[in-house]
Amino acid sequence: MLTYNTSQKPLRLPEYGRNIQNMLEHCLSLTDRDQRNAAAVSIVKTMGILFPHLRETPGDNSKFWDHLAIMSGFSDLIDWPEGTVKEEELASKPEKVAITQGNVKFRCYGRMVERMMNYAAELPAGEEKDQLIFMIADQMKKSLLALTPDGVDDSRIFADIAEMTHGEIRLDPQLHRLHSFRIVSNGNKKRHRK
């Protein structure tokens, strides 16, 4: 009778396959510690031959030792080399990243656009300031188009800029025009078979 994979124990790291897992289980079933360690070394060599692209540097088997430790459930039956990953290291959670949740009045544009526009408002009048304002305004238009693909009126963006900068930057829709962008489909339409 055939043994199906669905009836066997699930693999801890399926990318190595059932054969490496079976080799490890045989290694762990050996009674002599020296034989187990020798078998573990040969398994790591086999992993290196089968998956040379996983090595960070030639001759470095530390990643394979880490994976073997994970596959064995961090068994203490094998003498792991120094620096092999410990179970506590994998179970630990990273520290929480502090995210400032300050008031973002225009969430559709994001905090960075608001900061850039305030920076542009502080620049001295000139061509550099004008170019920066229109680049940011174009980005604002792209952001709005992502939310409302029907179209965005330039006057809305100009009103948002004026409100964002507390009236320091005022653009007239009669005199200024932003680029016109069009939505490009991603091309994932299903083809119908005849």
- Residue 15 sits in which domain range? 10-91
Tens digits of per-residue pLDDT, 149-163?
A: 777 888 888 888 888
Distance CA 157, CA 163 (A): 10
pTM over 0.85: no
Q: Which residue has the higher pLDDT, 4 or 129?
A: 129
Q: How many domains are there within the chain?
A: 2
Domain boundary among 69, 91, 113: 91
Q: Would 37 be classed as within a structural domain?
A: yes
Return the SS3 of 93: coil
Do 193 and 110 belong together in one domain? yes
Q: Which residue has the higher pLDDT, 185 or 130?
A: 130
Return the SS3 of 48: helix
30 contacts 39 by C-beta, under 8 angstroms:
yes
pLDDT value at residue 190:
62
Residue 164 has pLDDT above 60, yes or no: yes
Q: What is the mean pLDDT of the chain?
A: 84
139-144 average pLDDT score? 86
pLDDT above 70 covers a percentage of the chain that reads 91
The pair of structure tokens assigned to 56 is 């960070």
Residue 194 has pLDDT above 60, yes or no: no
Distance CA 151, CA 147 (A): 10
Do 16 and 107 belong together in one domain? no
Q: Would 3 be classed as within a structural domain?
A: no
Do 22 and 100 belong together in one domain? no
